[in-house]
Structure 1
Amino acid sequence: MKKNFLITSPPGTGKTTAIKKFIDLTGGKFKVSGFITEEIRDQKGKRVGFKITTLDGKTGILADINLKNSPKVGKYGVNLKDIDNIAVPSINLNSDIIVIDEIGKMECFSKSFVQRVFEVLDSEKILVGTIKEKGDEIINKIKSRNDVELIKLTLENRDEIPFLIFQKVASLLDKVYPPHGEKTKSSN
């Protein structure tokens, strides 16, 4: 049974936007934890890094062009401290749905992040996230799992994808947590 839904596409296609729309669709009906990543831009609009924002409001730096003495991805230094202390703890196995945006090269420098991702994948919890389109051994191992559904995001389908994933997730959760006299979007 597929219970892990990972969006993949080239950079800049709208993966994070799709994840945010999915989170909005859950509307507090389910317990959701995890984090999203977004670009950091300077006053001139130039991208200088990426930030982590947890669904419970904590923020940190994922990567920055000025970060020294850290693993590098292109011109960005990866902030292992914030991955380990902000992103990883936000992945709460007591949630119904765990959101991870993104499983990529930067995040996978953290051994605790990789370990937590596999804990989620191996659990009964539902994972909704994004994953790098082209990856290394860890990313390819995740993408090849039988319980992972890869969803290719395109400019043409990006508005539909959050609803599609929500319907699949709500259907799975309704089987686990039957609604108490309430109708869900998936059962309408």
Structure 2
Amino acid sequence: MEEKKQSRLHHFVLVHGACHGAWCWYKVVPLLKQAGYKVTALDLAASGIHPKQATKLGSVSDYLAPLMELMTSLTGGGKEEKVILVGHSMGGVGISAAMEKFAEKVAVAVFVTAFMPAPHPGVGYSLPREEGFFASPSSSSFVKLDGPENPPTSMLFGPKAMATKFYQLSPPEDLALGIMLVRPCPLFKDGLIITVFWSRI
């Protein structure tokens, strides 16, 4: 009885990192469901099978819209409506925004080696740069739609970066899957405004 009660009280919302999609949780989702939990793994805009392209997104809000829409759809307030937000890598930006806007609907937030934006200096300071292992085409590629003198507007992890920096401890099958499924991740000029409000969660 207690186990059934617990399963009703927990809804995991899984948010992927840069260039990835809901697909990257394919091993985690069945384990949580088998344990009796409700699970939602979603694609952020221009990620996974989401129909938009990175070049069509104009702001962080556009990128995070699918998560915000999901959180809005929850009736909220009561224990049975609260979610456990899980963000990996850049998914930490998304769950931070969700915590900020929907604090009453969040029971716990889990940052899995993820960005954790603070009020200052904000999320922009730690976004990927064109140095280090991102520099060569085999590592990662950057697109500059605003001109070569301006910051990049999107990036895509290359096979070298994925093999040596992200999937080096994973089975080769997972690396192959990731290389086939990653999509360009939008990079924005606008920042994500975070206050200390969600620190009470």
TM-score range, shorter chain: 0.3 to 0.5
TM-score by length of 2: 0.33
Higher helix proportion, which one? Answer: 2
Higher strand proportion, which one? Answer: 1
TM-score by length of 1: 0.34
Larger relative contact order (CA 8 Å, sep ≥ 6): 1
